[in-house]
Amino acid sequence: ALHMPYGGGSTGGALQIDPYTLERIEVLKGPASVLYGQNEPGGIVNMVSKRPTATPIREVVLGGGSQDRRYGAFDVGGALDEQGTYLYRLTGVGRDINSEIDYAEQKRFMLAPSFTWNPNEQTSLTFYGQYQKDNDVPEAQGLPAYGTVFSTPNGRIKRSTFIGEPGLNSYDRDQFVFGYEFSHELNDVWTFKQNTRYAYLDDQYVAPLHGYRFVPNPNTGADDRRYATRYGVDWSQTNKAFGMDNMAQAKFKTGAIDHTALIGIDYYHFKSKFFGLYSNQEPTTIIDLYKPVYGS
């Protein structure tokens, strides 16, 4: 298991793993988690990716749903020769989803190839990669308590109200992962394993957001909590991460007792570049929360 780059408390800047690319998810509790590289001693969530197998895999998934949800995925793989020396697997995902919020949408394209070479029964080498591109109009927005929880003379704010700016709000992400997994049985006792991965992520978020304050009605001057200011957000970041986990495993017996010993060295390097602009000072644009007029 290799440590994933983390966005420091935010999903922005962190790798997003599509569930369809996973074989299973394991939860390891307690200090056993430190046996798998740089991890917290309280436990880890281990996401096991799909890898090549000798068993043929042929799967195609098509789906749809509310909010104009359209989804497609495929998973193919198997052996390239009769001996099972060469194995492959290719997984892909595409989706286009609207939202209950006006103008909000999610689009994703993902492709994950992997290839395994088994030169003999003692040795295995797997190369893998993943490219993922997301183009979203985020629906992450806050509506005020007045007009939703508390009544006002204006009525209720529609739950579908989009307080951003159509054509401007966007969240774009490009994610690339490449690595290999190597395993070799040195003898009946010792096995050496090495996992290496490089990850690159670039994302950008642009949006005018509500969250500053209510302002008097520009038409009547009344403080009727109908109009609110919006502030601008424009940030981008690029994260690069390289990790390598080396482990030697020994299995042996002393009398009637079986032993498993592990010796490992883990290396991890993370580099991040962030640029952000936040505009919450006057003048800011205002929006009618009940009948939004965009373009101002």
Secondary structure (DSSP) of 16-66 = ---GGGEEEEEEEEGGGGGGGSS--TTEEEEEEE----SS-EEEEEEEEET
Q: What is the pLDDT of residues 45-81, one digit of tens each?
A: 888 999 999 999 999 999 999 888 999 999 999 999 9
Q: How far apart are CA 138 and CA 16, in angstroms?
A: 15
pLDDT, block means (10 residues), the chain with 296 residues: 60 82 88 69 85 95 91 96 94 94 93 96 96 88 85 89 86 94 94 94 83 82 86 87 92 91 89 81 77 84
| Residue 210: predicted pLDDT | 61
Cα angle value 226/231/236 (rounded, 5°): 145
Spatial CA neighbour of 116 closest among 183, 23, 22, 193: 183
Q: How much is the pTM? A: 0.83
Q: How far apart are CA 209 and CA 213, in angstroms?
A: 11
CATH code: domain of residue 100: 2.40.170.20
**How many structural domains compose the chain?**
1
Centre a 10 Å sphere on the Cβ of residue 253 and count the other Cβ atoms it contains: 9
**264 domain-assigned:** yes
Please state whether beta strands 285-288 and 227-254 pair in parallel, antiparallel, or not at all (unpaired): antiparallel
| Residue 6: predicted pLDDT | 59
**32 domain-assigned:** no
**5 domain-assigned:** no
**40 domain-assigned:** no
Q: What is the pLDDT of residues 188-237, one digit of tens each?
A: 999 999 999 999 999 998 887 666 688 888 888 888 888 888 888 888 99
CB under 8 Å to 188, separation ≥6 — which residues?
A: none
Cis peptide upstream of residue 283 (ω within 30 degrees of 0) = yes
**179 domain-assigned:** yes
Q: How far apart are CA 227 and CA 284, in angstroms?
A: 12
In the numeric block, the tokens 């500053």 are attached to 212
**138 domain-assigned:** yes
Q: How far apart are CA 233 and CA 23, in angstroms?
A: 37
| Residue 282: predicted pLDDT | 59
CB under 8 Å to 279, separation ≥6 — which residues?
A: 231, 232, 233
Q: How far apart are CA 20 and CA 268, in angstroms?
A: 26
**225 domain-assigned:** yes
Torsion, Cα of 9, 132, 5, 21 (10° steps): 100
| Residue 221: predicted pLDDT | 86
By residue range, what is the domain housing residue 148? 54-288
* Lookup: tokens for 62: 């098509």
Whether 215 contacts 156, CB under 8 Å: no
CA distances from 133 to 50, 175, 201 (A): 19, 6, 10
**2 domain-assigned:** no
